[in-house]
Amino acid sequence: MQYLVSVIDDKSNPGSTDRQPAISAFNERLIAEGYWVFAGGLADTDAATVIDNRGEQAVVSDGPFVESKEYLAGVWVWEVPDLDVALKLAAEASKVCDRKIEVRPFQ
């Protein structure tokens, strides 16, 4: 079972910026235990571009699809047996990243 694990940051109250070594160590563990599928930190939402080509021609707009105080700062994809395992790892991830984590199953 695969889960998308999103790291949520808060613009008005951001998590600490010195987490990279801890995150790397956590990733090593995820790989060693066979849970790791993918991981990536994201650039600032200012760097996002939205494209909508459902109409006559593509409309390109600057910025994320929704402006909010909280935003997606990075993602993992984990392969784990069930939600309990995912939540347990996510609880650790939240500490490691010093940020909130959302766990969402793939279909």
Partner 1 sequence: MSDVEEAITRAHHDEWARVVAALTRRFGDLDIAEEAAAEAFTTAVERWRADGLPPNPGAWLTTTANRKAIDRIRRENKRDDKHKEAQMLHDNTPPEPLGAIDDDRLRLIFTCCHPALAVEARVALTLRMVGGLTVPEIARAFLVQGSTMEQRITRAKAKIKAARIPYRMPSADDLPARVSGVLAVLFLVFNEGYLASGPDTDPVRHDLTTEAIRLTRLIRALLPQDGEVAGLLALMLLTEARRPARVSAGGELVALDEQDRGAWDAALIAEGHRLVRERLAAAAAGVAPGRYQILAAINAVHTSARDMRDTDWSQVLALYDQLVRLDRSPIIALNRAIAVAELDGPEVALAIVDRLAEALAGYHAYHATRADLLRRLGQSQQSRAAYDRAIELAGNTGETAYLTRRRDQLQ
12: contact with partner 1 by CB under 8 A: no
Kindly tell me which residue out of 33, 65, 83, 92 binds partner 1, with binding defined by CB under 8 A. 83
Question: 83-99 b/e with 16+ CB inside 10 Å = b?
Answer: eebbeebbeebeebbbb
Can you tell me the distance from the alpha carbon of 33 to that of 84, in angstroms, rounded to the nearest whole number?
16
41: contact with partner 1 by CB under 8 A: no
Helices then strands, counting H and E runs in the chain, come out as 2, 6
Sorted by sequence, the CB contacts under 8 Å of residue 98 that are 6+ apart come out as: 15, 16, 19
Shortest Cβ distance from residue 78 to partner 1 (Å)? Answer: 12
25: contact with partner 1 by CB under 8 A: no
105: contact with partner 1 by CB under 8 A: yes
Shortest Cβ distance from residue 50 to partner 1 (Å)? Answer: 27
Nearest to 73 by CA among 40, 24, 27: 40
Kindly tell me which residue out of 87, 92, 95, 102 binds partner 1, with binding defined by CB under 8 A. 87
The residue assigned the tokens 């695969």 is 2
Shortest Cβ distance from residue 85 to partner 1 (Å)? Answer: 8
Residues near partner 1 (CB under 8 A) are 1, 81-84, 87-88, 103-105, 107
